[in-house]
Amino acid sequence: MIEAAWSCLLQWWALSELTLGTWLWVGGVLALGCFVQRTTGFGMAVVGAPLILLKAPAMVPVVLVVYGFLVSCLVVRRYRREVAMGDISMALVGKVPGTLLGVWLLLIAPMATLEVMIAAIVLFAVLVTLFKLRLPVNRSSLFGAGFLSGIFGAVAAIGGPPIVLLMHGMPMDRLRGNLAAFFLISSLMTLASLAAVGKVPLWLLAVSLSFLPMVLVGHGLGAALAPRLPRRLLQGASLTLCAAAAIGLLLS
């Protein structure tokens, strides 16, 4: 039994084509992304997608969707009293056709095109966070934000910026709770859609789960240091890193 399990692990590792250095890079990026998300409320995939894509493109978007779901579970558990499904229900409706379109793009677009798309999504996320534009929040805008979130989430696991653009005026705890609830449900939708078209092979899921210890360390450090570190400084540093990684993708 143990020998069979070990044999499967070795086969999955071979299929991943990851070196130890690349595995450590991906794990470190995920830990950093979890730290940023726990301290600022948003940003794991924005940090993770361009940096992981530089070293391990086969891991994107599945590894980020998996940990987006797990981190959202942790955040929802903390802020469950702040969640108001009425705030996000229409966005979840828009998420469905957006996810289907995003998966279709993932299937037909060459990797070079996907890299440009992901870099553009990351830069859009940076601009949204920096300028905090005010848009009317209604059923139409929520549906549109959910639709864009579905596309961005399927292509790069970066479904947050369109929703944040609408909801950033909420009190911080309510924002964190609603975003986490939205990401929890939408991550399941994205993962199911990717699995349906064969984009979530067992080896990829297994290798993704191997990063769990590092993710928990990043989340734990974020929880411990969040009250002690200035949120604006952390956000500024993470946005600079994201922008640099996105520009690096465009120039590579």
Provide the percentage of residues in the chain whose pLDDT is more than 90: 27
In a domain, 145, yes or no: yes
pLDDT of residue 115: 79
214/127 Cα distance (integer angstroms): 29
241/139 Cα distance (integer angstroms): 34
37/52 Cα distance (integer angstroms): 16
Nearest-10 crossing angle of helices 20-40, 212-225: 30
In a domain, 127, yes or no: yes
**Residues 51 and 246: beta-carbon distance below 8 Å:** no
The candidate with the shortest Cα–Cα distance to 88, out of 220, 179, 209, is: 179
168/212 Cα distance (integer angstroms): 29
pLDDT of residue 89: 93
In a domain, 1, yes or no: no
Counting the structural domains of the chain, the total is 1
The DSSP call for residue 133 is -
Q: Residue 73: give the domain boundaries.
A: 22-251
CB atoms within 10 A of CB 248: 14
**Residues 204 and 58: beta-carbon distance below 8 Å:** yes
Count of residues making up the chain: 252
In a domain, 6, yes or no: no
This prediction's pTM: 0.85
**3-state DSSP call for residue 135?**
coil
Task: State in Å, rounded, how far the first CA of the chain is from the last one.
Answer: 45
Nearest-10 crossing angle of helices 139-156, 111-131: 140
pLDDT of residue 1: 58
Q: pLDDT per residue over 47-99, tens digit each?
A: 888 889 888 988 989 999 998 898 888 888 888 888 888 889 999 999 999 99
132: pLDDT strictly greater than 90: no
70 HSE (CA, 13 A, CB side): 20
pLDDT band at 146 (very low <50, low <70, confident <90, very high): very high
In a domain, 109, yes or no: yes
H or E element, residue 74: helix 62-79
CB atoms within 10 A of CB 144: 18
Q: pLDDT per residue over 42-52, tens digit each?
A: 678 888 888 89
In a domain, 16, yes or no: no
Q: pLDDT per residue over 165-194, tens digit each?
A: 788 777 777 887 888 899 899 999 999 999
Phi and psi torsions of 201, nearest 5°:
-65, 160
218/232 Cα distance (integer angstroms): 19
**Residue 120 Cα distances to 24, 45, 155, 198, angstroms:** 26, 14, 12, 26
230: pLDDT strictly greater than 90: no
